[in-house]
């Protein structure tokens, strides 16, 4: 089996594989890339939205928690002097030298697989989109690809039941997975969802990383922490993607920024180094460009260095 170093393993008690040549990160190197992602010229919070979405009560995207711990991508030294322009808006992700063309020019649905062994056999890098049922996995894929129905969405949980491969720009895959954590199911049954997806995570050599989606419109759910824990213990690199950041519910536990802060506090103890995270909304497009840019740097590192 071909073993490739994954670019952003989280339980990194050994040196990361990407501490290469020192990098003058203050140079223009990453600033244009951050600008391409829509980086605000100053500050670490996303620029306020100018229009209200008809379905959301609030126009302003949630603010990044203060003193947020940064994620340093491949090619950026951990103690690098990072300026606000180099951080993707609404995230803790620093843009590094591997960031490249993040555009989605073409997206093609390749097929669905019931088992890991049935997935496409080529070596193209892929990102798996994972999260609770109804968290917005299929919607995120549609938003990233700008296709309304690239992946089928539904208000009813459990819509996606197979491993679905979408080929992007003929060069990499986005993979839609079944959701976990039906509220109605027992705890055992809930974690059992993964008997076949677990095989996928453990055996998929071309998996660059997992986008673990977390619903920012509700307080921290134990099952998301359990999933993050399982992936971490199995050396699967992940990025937390907060979804539904446009959605503000009335009452306690209804504010995305508070829920995100609470979630980050909860996972803080799980990881010795801060994992990457980003705020998104498939409804307003918040975080789309930034997430694509982040994936480009992981992918380019994978393509160039990890073979």
Ligand X SMILES: Nc1nc2c(ncn2[C@@H]2O[C@H](COP(=O)(O)OP(=O)(O)OP(=O)(O)O)[C@@H](O)[C@H]2O)c(=O)[nH]1
Does residue 138 belong to the site contacting ligand X (CB under 6 A)? yes
Residue closest to 211 by CA, chosen among 159, 155, 282: 282
Does residue 143 belong to the site contacting Mg ion (CB under 5 A)? no
**Cβ 193 to ligand X shortest distance, Å:** 10
With CB under 6 A as the contact rule, the residue among 65, 96, 179, 237 that binds ligand X is 179
Q: Which stretch binds Mg ion (CB under 5 A): 53-61, 110-118, 131-139, 184-192?
A: 131-139
With CB under 6 A as the contact rule, the residue among 30, 91, 92, 139 that binds ligand X is 139
Handedness of CA 146, 151, 152, 157 (dihedral sign): negative
Does residue 159 belong to the site contacting ligand X (CB under 6 A)? yes
Bridge partners for 130 per DSSP? 212
Q: Which is nearer to Mg ion, 39 or 151 (CB)?
A: 151
* Strand positions, DSSP E, the chain: 107-113, 126-131, 163-168, 172-176, 207-215, 238-243, 277-279
Does residue 137 belong to the site contacting ligand X (CB under 6 A)? yes
With CB under 5 A as the contact rule, the residue among 160, 164, 221, 300 that binds Mg ion is 160
Burial (CB count within 10 angstroms: exposed 0-12, middle 13-18, buried 19+), residue 77 = middle
Q: Which is nearer to ligand X, 24 or 189 (CB)?
A: 189
Report how far apart the first and last C-alpha atoms of the chain are (Å, whole number): 13
Residues that bind ligand X (CB under 6 A): 131, 133-139, 153-155, 157-160, 179, 243-244, 246-247, 281-283
């Amino acid at each position: 089996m071909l073993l490739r170093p994954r670019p952003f393993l989280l339980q990194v008690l050994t040196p990361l594989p990407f501490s290469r040549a020192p990098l003058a990160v203050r140079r223009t190197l990453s600033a244009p890339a951050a600008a391409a992602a829509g980086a605000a010229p100053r500050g670490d919070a996303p620029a306020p939205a100018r229009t209200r979405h008809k379905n959301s009560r609030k126009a302003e995207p949630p603010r990044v928690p203060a003193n947020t711990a940064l994620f340093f991508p491949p090619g950026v030294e951990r103690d690098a002097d990072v300026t606000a322009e180099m951080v993707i808006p609404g995230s803790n992700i620093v843009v590094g030298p591997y960031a490249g063309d993040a555009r989605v020019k073409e997206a093609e649905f390749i097929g669905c697989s019931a088992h890991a062994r049935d997935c496409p056999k080529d070596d193209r890098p892929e990102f798996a989109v994972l999260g609770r049922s109804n968290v917005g996995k299929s919607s995120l894929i549609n938003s990233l690809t700008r296709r309304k129905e690239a992946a089928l969405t539904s208000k009813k949980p459990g819509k996606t039941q197979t491993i679905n491969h979408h080929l992007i720009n003929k060069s990499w895959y986005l993979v839609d997975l079944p959701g976990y954590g039906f509220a109605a199911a027992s705890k055992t049954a809930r974690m059992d969802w993964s008997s076949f997806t677990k095989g996928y995570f453990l055996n998929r050599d071309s998996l660059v990383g997992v986008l673990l989606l977390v619903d920012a419109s509700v307080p921290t759910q134990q099952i998301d922490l359990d999933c993050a824990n399982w992936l971490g213990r199995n050396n699967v690199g992940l990025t937390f993607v907060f979804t539904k950041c446009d959605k503000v519910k009335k009452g306690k536990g209804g504010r995305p920024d508070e829920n995100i802060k609470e979630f980050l506090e909860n996972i803080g103890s799980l990881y010795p180094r801060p994992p990457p995270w980003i705020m998104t909304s498939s409804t307003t497009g918040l975080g789309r460009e930034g997430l694509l840019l982040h994936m480009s740097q992981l992918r380019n590192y994978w393509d160039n260095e990890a073979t």
